[in-house]
Amino acid sequence: MTDRPLTLMAVHAHPDDEATGTGGVLARYAAEGIRTVLVTCTDGGCGDGAGGVKPGDPGHDPAAVALMRRQELEASCEVLKVSDLEMLDYADSGMIGWPSNDAPGSFWQTPVEEGAARLAELMRHYRPDVVVTYDENGFYGHPDHIQAHRITMAALEMTELTPKVYWTTMPHSGMKRFGEAMREFHEDMPEPDPAEAAAMAEIGLPDDEITTWVDTTAFSGQKFDALAAHASQGENIFFLKMGKERFGELMGMETFLRVQDATGAAVPENDLFAGLR
């Protein structure tokens, strides 16, 4: 036994990602006295600017957007009681197919070995017991999410550390409820075309393949407030339209696929730290 606290490290692509997929576990484990480390890989410069100005439109200043989003991220971390925030500050690559994907210095164009080496330094410093990031498709195909996955898995190989490792996911039953909620709040929303519907159906996992179900209902208010801290992106954050009560009903369970484990804890499990305490 040592005096070193149990430590969770979440590796995310952009400011606001920390709240969407892991806001509940960050808040819950912080409340339990676990050290929570957030690594944000990009500066978020491809997000909306002040007044909702879109990337590529006149008046959109990526540097100004990045500064604004850094401040919002710090506010979100304060709400979630994140112990340590680390930013790799790569340039946001934008959505798949955007010209910014190919920009020199963008995260997507950064060699995996370079990003992984920087992340490995942080892993050696914090020595996380649990690491959380995205799956190989970045959950829904965003280039920066895919790159975050790649550098995380490469960094783990570089360090030879043996934390429990998880990829964020969503059960198919949850995706169905999410789709119903979107139609509930957007009654005029057109039905997706077959190709789009098929792509959506591939997101997440069948319920019986999910290894880890963490109840964060008691912390859903913090998760909602953390999302709200990213005010500049409010137009893109559908969840904020629900209000706290409905949000808590839909977003109170965070789910993961366990991909590395040295504890032998049985699955399905309801705690990322099962077998560690």
Tens of pLDDT along the chain (277 residues) come to 457 899 999 999 999 999 998 999 999 999 999 999 999 999 999 999 888 889 888 989 999 999 999 999 999 999 999 999 999 999 999 888 888 898 999 999 999 999 999 999 999 999 999 999 999 998 888 999 999 999 999 999 999 898 899 999 999 887 787 777 777 766 566 666 666 666 666 788 999 999 999 999 999 999 999 999 999 987 767 778 888 988 888 889 999 999 999 999 999 999 999 999 9
- 152 Cβ contact partners less than 8 Å away, ≥ 6 residues apart: 11, 116, 119, 131, 133
Query: For residue 92, what pLDDT is reported?
Result: 95
- Tell me, yes or no, whether 198 lies in a domain: no
- Tell me, yes or no, whether 269 lies in a domain: no
- Count of domains forming the chain: 1
Packing angle, helices 220-228 and 62-80, rounded to 10: 160
- Tell me, yes or no, whether 76 lies in a domain: yes
How are beta strands 212-215 and 253-260 bridged, if at all?
A: antiparallel
3-state DSSP of 213-236: EEECHHHHHHHHHHHHCCHHHHHH
Query: For residue 3, what pLDDT is reported?
Result: 75
- Tell me, yes or no, whether 189 lies in a domain: no
Query: For residue 235, what pLDDT is reported?
Result: 74
- Tell me, yes or no, whether 70 lies in a domain: yes
The DSSP secondary-structure symbol of 163 reads: -
- Tell me, yes or no, whether 184 lies in a domain: no
Query: For residue 233, what pLDDT is reported?
Result: 87
What's the CA gap between 69 and 18, in Å, rounded?
A: 13
Contact 223, 27 (CB under 8 A): yes
- Tell me, yes or no, whether 16 lies in a domain: yes
- What is the domain range of residue 103? 7-171+207-260
Query: For residue 1, what pLDDT is reported?
Result: 45
Query: What's the CATH number where 220 sits?
Result: 3.40.50.10320
Query: For residue 198, what pLDDT is reported?
Result: 64
Query: For residue 140, what pLDDT is reported?
Result: 83
Query: For residue 93, what pLDDT is reported?
Result: 95
Taking Cα atoms as reference points, which of 274, 10, 1 lies closest to residue 167?
A: 10
Q: Which pTM was predicted?
A: 0.92
Coil, helix or strand for 94?
coil
Query: For residue 199, what pLDDT is reported?
Result: 64
- Tell me, yes or no, whether 64 lies in a domain: yes
